[in-house]
A = this chain, B = another copy of it.
Amino acid sequence: MKNNIESIIKYLKGSNDDFIVTSHISPDGDNIGSTLAMYYTLNKLGKNVYHVLDDNPPQNLKFLVENMNILKSEEVNLDSYNIIALDCGDKNRMCISQKLIDNAKKIICIDHHASNDYYGDFNYIDTEASSTCELVYNLLIEYEKKENINIIDEDIATCLYTGLVTDTGNFVYSNTHPSSFEMAKELLSKGAKKDTIIQKVFQSNPYNYYKLLGEALNTLDVVDGKIASITITKEMLKRNVISFNDVDGITPYTRDIEGVEVGILLKEKKENEVKISLRSKNYVDVSKIAKSFNGGGHIRAAGCTIYSSIEDAKKKIVEAVVKAIQGDKNE
């Protein structure tokens, strides 16, 4: 079913079933934020709601879930339930068991990924939106108007603000629209704990992180002046006691160099498994490159995994980027 925000509100209002809220694997700020915001909302609306996630939030987002009871799929035993899948572009990337997905009464999909094929029974997809949190915000504003109630409180505002700033690189990326600032203004007025979010998300790196960053900058490699890469091996992570999920903040360093169009961060997860983050500045669609390696994402920020040695993965991804730069420049 195509977009219908009205029918989602109607269904949420009318349903007496339980709800599971979840998002995609390797959770980031936008999906933790949007999932929690929906959790708090459904709770407020008097529904039974469960936050299910078979993965752990990264360290810098733990402040959001401190008092939450997040369940693993095997802990869930429900008869009749709906799933609200947030920020999850692909039905198979939902961070819950296949069994839970298969037995859901209805799936409500709220997302902004270009790759989304409207897999929900209800969908609210907008690929132009800054973040899934912006879509949840729109939904809640609409709900508030329609039912003449207040939903967005300090907690919900804080969750939504977190997703907005993590998915826009704190208002840096080109997905930042006037509507994003309108939302930021309103959330701040409604008590979003901006300073806490900024400190926890962006300003609380452990001292070791900077030691790792120093090492990582030593690997900075620029090809043709347009492509820059940084390589982080599992030995570097181990040596500096930094976990694999906690170094994504290094990705922008690869792109933020004068003249560079595409930045690449290569992170070795284990032997022959390299996670790759891609960023572009002006004209290269990195989601296409990621897709060619079975990954996904957005035009200016995408990711994929290459199953080979880190040297080989670097060779392959740089080759693909070189080709893309030539192609996208000629388009």
CB-defined interface of A171-199 with B at 8 Å, one 1/0 digit per residue? 11010111001101110110000110011
Q: Are B178 and A181 in contact (CB under 8 A)?
A: no
Chain A, range 159-217, C-beta contacts under 8 Å to B: 170-172, 174, 176-178, 181-182, 184-186, 188-189, 194-195, 198-199, 202-207, 210-211, 213-214, 217
Are B256 and A206 in contact, with the CB atoms below 8 A?
no
- Asked, given contacts A206-B257, A220-B207, A257-B205, whether A177 binds B188 with beta carbons under 8 Å apart, the answer is yes
Q: What chain B residues lie within 8 Å of A184 (beta carbons)?
A: 171, 181, 184
The reply to whether the CB of A255 lies closer than 8 angstroms to some CB of chain B is yes
Asked if A203 and B255 make an inter-chain contact with CB atoms under 8 angstroms apart, the answer reads yes
A188–B198 CB distance below 8 A = no
Cross-interface CB contact of A188 among B178, B205, B256, B281, cutoff 8 Å: B178
Q: Does A326 contact B (CB under 8 A)?
A: no
B217 touches A210 (CB 8 A): yes
Cβ of A244 within 8 Å of any chain B Cβ, yes or no, is no
Interface digits, A246-265 against B, CB 8 Å rule (1 contact, 0 not)? 00000011011110000000
Assess whether B171 is in contact with A210, with CB atoms less than 8 Å apart: no
Q: Does A69 contact B (CB under 8 A)?
A: no
- Taken together as a complex, chains A and B put the C-alpha atoms of A258 and B208 apart, in Å, by 10
Quote the shortest CB–CB distance from A229 to chain B (angstroms).
12
A222 at interface, CB cutoff 8 A: yes
A218 close to chain B: CB less than 8 A: yes
Q: How far is the CA of A146 from the CA of B322 in the complex (A)?
A: 55
With beta carbons under 8 angstroms apart, the residue of B177, B182, B210, B281 that contacts A253 is: B210
Give the oligomeric copy count. 2
Measured in the bound complex, the distance between the Cα atoms of B185 and A80 in whole Å is 44
CA distance A48 to B258 in the complex (A): 37
Complex Cα distance, B204 from A252, in Å, reads 11
Distance of A182 Cα from B220 Cα, bound (Å): 38
CB-CB < 8 A to A171: which residues of B? 170-171, 184
Closest to A217 in B: B214
B189:A178 contact, CB within 8 angstroms: yes
Assembly CA distance A257 to B207 (angstroms): 6
Nearest first, the 5 A-B pairs at minimum CB distance are A181-B185, A203-B256, A214-B217, A181-B184, A204-B258
- Would you list 17 pairs from A and B whose C-beta atoms are within 8 A, ordered by A residue? A170-B170, A171-B171, A172-B202, A174-B194, A174-B195, A176-B194, A177-B188, A178-B185, A178-B188, A202-B256, A203-B252, A203-B256, A206-B257, A210-B217, A211-B217, A213-B217, A214-B214
Further contacts, 18 of them, CB under 8 A, given A181-B185, A203-B257: A171-B184, A172-B202, A174-B195, A181-B181, A181-B182, A181-B184, A181-B188, A199-B281, A199-B282, A203-B256, A205-B257, A206-B258, A207-B222, A207-B258, A210-B220, A210-B257, A214-B214, A214-B218
Chain A residues in the interface with B (C-beta under 8 A): 170-172, 174, 176-178, 181-182, 184-186, 188-189, 194-195, 198-199, 202-207, 210-211, 213-214, 217-218, 220, 222, 252-253, 255-258, 281-282
